[in-house]
Chains A and B, each alone.
Chain A
Amino acid sequence: MNDSAVLAAVGEKLSSVDTITEGLSTVGYIASRRIATAIFIAQNLNKPILVEGSAGVGKTELALSAASWLGLPLIRMQCYEGLDEAKALYEWKYGKQLLYTQILKDKVGDVLEGTEGMDQAMERLRGFGDLFFSEEFLEPRPLLKALQEENGAVLLIDEIDKSDEEFEAFLLEILSAFQVSIPEIGTIVAKTPPLVFLTSNNMREMGDALKRRCLHLYIPLPDEKLERRIVSSRIPGIEESLTKQLVKFVQMLREEDLKKVPSISETIDWARVVLLMHADSLDSELVRDTLNVLLKFEQDIASVERRIPTLVRKSAE
């Protein structure tokens, strides 16, 4: 496929909310209407999407699925405290530059042979241009890579809330204009703006400036119906009745007063485990043995443990 064909194919896939919902489901991501709408608007307005929601509701997964469905490269940047320009955008290959200068030191003598005076030497050197500040010595990091992709890309900036405020401010130029300025080379503008997802766990409030440049998508925990569809799409071999019971059980757990309620990823993991144990329905013992897949805190497990038989019975109804 040539470039324009790729672009056209992507454009076609993103042409309406319904095609997005369907398309994402072909790669196993069951999207609510709001999620699909967000992607549709993002494509139309060329805006990044800030995805929020508790851990494990499928924020990162959304970006991965979108990339694999659209057939675009996924460029992922994990944020952490202390992340800076050099690791996010670009860096000069300092070591290589230094190595080259060391090796070329002798060559300089040859080049300058026969010149008279400083002026002439300068004149001759100028002919070689900015040898050491060219693309060859430029190490592109995720953000720059995403801008350089000819056919666009899916850029995932993961856990933006872990980064520093300074970094957030630095992202603004890239996210609003899809361009960066490198002093030695000039401004690099994206040929095709990437589809950008930022995810946040709400460790801290994001700045207003950043929020304002993004569309905001909040993914809540799914209702029973949606969760059943998600489980059966993620684990194709699972029995309908088992899915129903599993999901009902998890939904009931979410009503309990827990430190960390199980989210979708935990439901899926649990379903896998239950399937591995060749169970075709839940019973108290099975649940007790596998509860640590769902609940990640000792005190949560302890508080639920006594009520397992009741919950199992209710989930089977």
Chain B
Amino acid sequence: MQETLEDFFRALRATDIPVSPAEAIDAHLAVDSVGYSDRTLLKDTLCVALAKSADETHRFDDCFDMFFAREEFKSNNRDAGDSESEAGDGPAPLPEGLPQELQNSELLQMLADGDSEALAQRMEQAARESGATNIRYVTQRGLLVRRILDRMGLRELEAAIRALNQNEENAGAVNAAQKLTQARQDLFQEARQYLDRLYELYARPYGQQLREEFLAETALSAVEMRDFVRMHKLVRKMAKKLATRYNRRRKQTRRGVLDVRRTLRRNMANDGIPFDTVWKQTKIDRPRIVVICDVSRSVAAAARFLLLFLYSLNEVIAKLRAYAFSDHMSEISDILQEKEVEVAIPEILDKIGFRPTDYGQSFADFEEDFGDVIDRKTTVIILGDGRSNHNDPRVDLMRWIHDRAKAVIWLNPEPKTFWGTGDSEMLRYLPFCHVAKVCRTVQDLERIIDDVLKSYIRA
């Protein structure tokens, strides 16, 4: 049973429920105290010990049901019903006319008994021995079916069919041969189904994980439309992670560091004897973030995902103000706030996006219309490539933002070697950024934003 549990843990890990060795030990201990006889009890026990969030609880339930489904061998079941009522206990006789060496075949005996339970168990065992639980790709299926059946004694079964077919005069033998041929087909069927289940359990989630990892490392401009939904999920997960870490105002008491002035003042009434002590505190403010996003033609491919990121960030950070521009700056906080993501992003792109870029004009708009949102507590994040179509980049306004804000962070989807080439004004903006980074993939995005929030919001 221990092996079964270990397999089950592996299936859980495949569905993204992490089971650490320590948790595995706990689960074993917990199961020891309830036993295996009651299935719901076993399920509840394992669930309580292993699934660690509401989401994981759901996934656990599904995984458990699938893993312990152990489909009955349907085709053999009819026979089982008959033979059990007739023969009672004691093994059923093998068909007559079998060569001597096949008389002891385990598989033939099980088939003759119609013992579906034993067959299912044997198949599980064979699957484990032949490494079928390590299945990764659909294409491995045929090979693995063959391996499992070989281990169960397929050769003996085939030899038996051949032997029975040889003495054609005997009607009983032919009949038995037909039965066995049928049984062989059923076995293949069962094995295939069993492997499908194994694939579902161990491989499919693995494939999904692979795709997600792959997606996280793909350049934003190269992500295809059909991955949009998956990307949204990925980005939202990431934004949530970031937000839980930084979206809380805290007061930290630095214990052990006495605030002498305030202590003395408070204890004046006690004749200066310090009954009430006051400790030094540091207050960590909730971040105030302003994001300015370039959605013009030059960043067209990446714009959708930059907005997606913005949308997710807006879902989790309370005080986010977002602006987008091509040649004119507009506030998009409201659209992000009120509309569904499928509506919001096309609407923004439609209104503002895909026009020739003009950084200078956009900055000028920003200063005029929204200049007062930036104060010394604000962190400004600019997402864009800094390509301004040879218009006046208005570096003076960039300096103005830099001087007013707590920090200016520029995330550029272009590689560093491209900065300053052609119409890129990146190098002229660079002195007025506290941080300027290349941000090509979702992974970059997460890492950078994490760094940024850590150093600029907590300080």
A residues neighboring B (CB under 8 Å): 17, 33-34, 37-38, 40-41, 44-45, 47, 49-50, 52-53, 81-82, 84-86, 94-95, 98, 102, 164, 202, 204-205, 208, 211-212, 215-218, 220
Contact = CB atoms under 8 A, between A and B. Distances in A.
Contacts of A49: 48
A94 B277 contact: yes
- Chain B contact-residue range equals 20 to 34
B52 A45 contact: no
Contacts of A94: 275, 277
Given A33-B40, A41-B30, A98-B273, A82 B251 contact: yes
Contacts of B248: 81, 204
Interface string B253-284: 10100000000000000000111010000000
A216 B53 contact: yes
A301 to B, nearest CB: 21
A211 B48 CA distance: 11
Nearest to B42: A37
Contacts of B57: 216, 218
A79 to B, nearest CB: 13
Contact of B29 (A38, A45, A211, A220): A45
A218 B251 contact: no
A307 B123 CA distance: 56
Contacts of B255: 84-86
A5 B90 CA distance: 53
A212 B33 contact: no
A216 B275 contact: no
Contact of B20 (A34, A102, A212): A212
B54 interface: yes
A221 B245 CA distance: 28
A223 to B, nearest CB: 14
B54 A218 contact: yes
B280 to A, nearest CB: 14
A98 B271 CA distance: 13
Nearest to B243: A204
Given A34-B47, A215-B48, A84 B253 contact: yes
Contacts of B250: 81-82, 164
B430 interface: no
B244 interface: yes
Task: Please classify the interface of chain B as helix (H, G, I), strand (E, B), loop, or mixed, using the class held by over half of its residues.
Answer: helix
Nearest to A43: B33
A81 B283 CA distance: 12
Query: Closest 7 A-B residue pairs measured CB to CB?
Result: A37-B44, A44-B33, A211-B52, A204-B244, A218-B57, A34-B44, A38-B48
A37 B54 contact: no
A82 B283 CA distance: 11
B275 A95 contact: yes
B51 interface: yes
A98 B263 CA distance: 15
A81 B251 contact: yes
Contact of A205 (B48, B244, B252): B244
A33 B275 contact: no
Given A47-B26, A82-B250, A95-B275, A40 B52 contact: no
Contacts of A218: 51, 53-54, 57
B23 interface: yes
A261 to B, nearest CB: 15
Given A52-B54, A94-B277, A217 B48 contact: yes
Contacts, number: 83
Given A202-B54, A215-B49, A37 B273 contact: no
B54 A53 contact: yes
A215 B56 CA distance: 13
Nearest to A86: B255
A95 B251 CA distance: 25
Contact of B48 (A41, A81, A164): A41
B48 A37 contact: yes
B22 interface: yes
Interface string B29-68: 1100110000011001101110111101100000000000
A45 B33 contact: yes
Nearest to A82: B251
Contacts of B241: 205
A216 B252 CA distance: 29
Nearest to B241: A205
Interface centre among A37, A84, A217 (most CB of B within 10 A): A37
Given A98-B273, A216-B48, A216-B56, 20 more contacts: A37-B41, A38-B44, A40-B33, A41-B45, A41-B49, A45-B26, A53-B54, A81-B249, A82-B251, A84-B255, A95-B275, A164-B250, A205-B53, A212-B23, A215-B49, A216-B52, A216-B53, A218-B51, A218-B54, A218-B57
Given A34-B48, A37-B48, A218-B57, A82 B253 contact: yes
B40 A41 contact: no
11 contacts: A17-B34, A17-B41, A41-B48, A44-B30, A82-B253, A84-B253, A102-B273, A164-B250, A202-B54, A212-B52, A216-B51
Contacts of B34: 17, 37, 40-41
A94 B263 CA distance: 14
Interface string B222-259: 00000000000000000001001000111111010000
Nearest to A53: B54
Contacts of B45: 37, 41
A250 to B, nearest CB: 21
Contacts of A45: 26, 29-30, 33
A17 B274 CA distance: 55
Contacts of B49: 41, 215
A212 B244 contact: no
A142 B56 CA distance: 31
A212 B20 CA distance: 8
A34 B34 CA distance: 13
Contacts of A202: 54
A216 B33 CA distance: 17
A216 B58 CA distance: 13
Contacts of A52: 53-54
A302 to B, nearest CB: 17
Contacts of A53: 54
Contacts of B23: 212
Q: Which of A38, A85, A216 has the most CB of B within 10 A?
A: A216
A242 to B, nearest CB: 32
A37 B54 CA distance: 17
A149 to B, nearest CB: 24
Most chain A CB within a 10 A radius of its CB, from B29, B52, B248, B253? B52
Nearest to A162: B248
A98 B272 CA distance: 12
A278 to B, nearest CB: 39
A216 B18 CA distance: 14
Nearest to A211: B52
Nearest to B57: A218
Contacts of A17: 34, 41
